[in-house]
Structure 1
Amino acid sequence: MFTGIITDIGTVRTAEDRGDLRLVIDTGYDMSSVDLGASIACSGVCLTVVDKGAPATGAQGIGGWFAVDVSGETVSRTAAHQWRAGARLNLERAMKLGDELGGHIVTGHVDGVGEIVSVTPEGGSHRIVIHAPAELAPFIAAKGSITVDGVSLTVNAVEDVADGTRFGLNIIPHTAAVTTIGDFAAGRPVNLEIDVLARYLQRMEHYRARG
């Protein structure tokens, strides 16, 4: 379980096909405090640490690296460009009982892939418009929460279109600086996770309509 509050930006050092895709990701995390088998959300995708190590000799800082295996199923259901060497990933370690819930409840299970429509300066911030597939439309609402590449964000506006939904976000400079959102440009695919509460409400409505 996660909160959508990013605590590091990792960089994919290597991506190797071993049947599943083995990624080695450089991070600023102190890997001595991360156990093998721990979960780390990588741009919104919950992955399991299968190997880890300290920084190379002479490297600055206390960070290190960790390795994850990404299944073909996960690759097929997420933004594929992030699973390559050099890609920057939003990282969040799994929350612990008693941690501050600064964002919203995030599972690390991607519901669909959206696409950046536009990025426009607005005051000191940026307005980002994202196209979401039609199956996610019922779960996206103004003032509701959504996770974009692992980042907990608030939806400002929603517009239904013929092939899905477009929704707008206001990104303040701090958020752009400490996440990969500062790299966003039109045409970029992004991982989307809907609010888990919206998912359960939709399920309840489905059974209420049947009964």
Structure 2
Amino acid sequence: MVTMEMDSARVAVLDAADELFYARGVQAVGMDELRTAAGISLKRMYALFPSKSDIVGQVLAGRTAVWNERILAEADRHDSPRDKILSIFDFLDAWFREDNFRGCAFINSFGELGATMPAVADAAHQHKREFVEYVTDLVVEAGCPASLGLQIALLAEGAQTTAAISESPESAIAARQAAAVLLDAAARA
């Protein structure tokens, strides 16, 4: 029973942290506010997470899991590697249109804390590296040079930043069109 209570308290903290950090930034959210939002005592929260850095690391791990799940779910709707690559931008387009879209949590948190919180830098580096590897694997499977993987990943990254800053969800569609041009050119070469 104690383990189940700890698990539910842990989930409550991570859910509250994810929502608050994404909406306002990590530094703007104090531990007392986080504990209140999670509905647990400060002592209990520190028993579960020794530091704010631990919470941030777990939130970013959760964000990676959701990102991967959504990217793969969209890709599973397609058969060819080319269509799976382009489906990344279909996912982005849907995400950018969500009411609570505030950009990439990894870019946001890295910009805010990457230099001072190693857990943030490590999580961001790993997340971005794994995404480039995923795209590169699909690019190679499509018969294109591996170097195209980074180029297409950069289009996705740029679309995220542009959509967040300029509030223009159509960035995903423009990036998708550019990715299609790159894929077609590489296929012809």
- Larger RCO: Structure 1 or Structure 2 (Cα < 8 Å, ≥ 6 residues apart)? 1
Q: When the two structures are superposed, what TM-score results if normalisation uses the length of structure 2?
A: 0.22
Q: When the two structures are superposed, what TM-score results if normalisation uses the length of structure 1?
A: 0.21
Higher strand proportion, which one?
1
Higher helix proportion, which one?
2
Highest CA radius of gyration, 1 or 2? 2
